[in-house]
Amino acid sequence: MDIVSIVTAFLLVFLAELGDKTQLAVISLSCRHSALHVFSGAILGLFLVDGVSILVGASIAAVIPIRWITITSGVVFILFGVFTFLSKKEDKTEVKEKSRFPLFTSFYLVALGELGDKTQIATIALAAETSWDSVLLGVMMAFALSVGIGAFLGAKILVRLPKRWLKVGTASLFIALGIISVVSAILEISII
């Protein structure tokens, strides 16, 4: 293992993820679900997407253009936001009982959100230049710290805010992130 590659991957991904849509999604999800489930699902999703990206490298972009992957993930975020906003059901149970599958929800939302993201592209480039195992270790350490911060913040926000505000905030966040993803892919610019 190459310590320089580990540190480079860690710093690049950690700094890029601070306030990024992945971390914001984790914060929102942990407002509604167990922080442990959200953390676990998000880490599994990130490991899958970025692990495969590192191993497969640029061949993903050769098969499916990143632009279309980003548009698809953006549309899913918009749909999830609209569904959350239009949901009539009021949550009156404890956080850990609000969803049957919070780990799976966190897994697929974070995995889809990471597809075509700047950190995914950066990890592909890093892995092409250095050892894949060092890059993977650095990337996953950065994601664990970033997602851990997000899950902890989300759980703390829940006890302080009215549930209606959380619902509207979460829905708005997912819709905004979806629109940003779609617009940035269509215009071929990096907004987030």
- How high is the pLDDT of residue 153? 76
Question: How would residue 46 be classed by pLDDT, with cut points 50, 70 and 90?
Answer: very high
User: Helical H runs in the chain?
Assistant: 3-17, 21-32, 35-56, 59-63, 66-86, 102-114, 118-129, 132-158, 163-187
pLDDT score of 58 more than 50: no
- How high is the pLDDT of residue 191? 62
117 or 92, higher pLDDT: 117
Tokens 């250095």 correspond to: 130
How large is the average pLDDT for residues 76-89? 77
Question: How would residue 74 be classed by pLDDT, with cut points 50, 70 and 90?
Answer: confident
Q: Are 12 and 130 in contact (CB under 8 A)?
A: no
CA distances (Å), origin 141, targets 59, 92, 116, 126, 146: 25, 35, 20, 15, 9
- How high is the pLDDT of residue 94? 36
Which one of 10-14, 16-20, 45-49 scores highest in mean pLDDT? 45-49
